[in-house]
Structure 1
């Protein structure tokens, strides 16, 4: 299943492909991803930190590749990739998510 991933900017779009079983639950999976992404106990490369007034502030910087990383290595970590980025879809997307 092809999933369109929209970002804040109108022309900022990426596409991913995944099995239909994953695509049907893409909105629930996106919520689980956010829970994982913003949990400070999880060590991942998407953390950004900076210092303000002597305090360390944490944030995240991510794109579709972070969601795909999570799907393939955290949520469905059975050694087989379930999702990947694609440049141009060969058919219209069946689902859309927004980051």
Structure 2
């Protein structure tokens, strides 16, 4: 009998952390345009009262965001390459 024994399996538990205030406000801004609704969403994400989050949401609304200009992308479709029977036979040789 071998002296080596399998160790017991470890119980891995994921860490559960509420989002940071900036993350919650940014997520709320992406979901709604109204500051009151943003405050409600951020408060639910953070698990804090709405009155505590509302001033921070209003403060974040005054931040300027930099957007990149739209770029046009041209897609050129090329036909798929197909081998002729003569070329396929020549490659087999």
Shorter-chain TM range is: under 0.3
TM-score where L is the length of structure 1: 0.25
**Which has the bigger relative contact order, CA under 8 A and spacing at least 6?**
1
Q: Which has the higher helix share?
A: 2
Q: Calculate the TM-score normalised by the size of structure 2.
A: 0.26
Structure of higher CA gyration radius:
2
Pick the structure with more strand per residue: 1
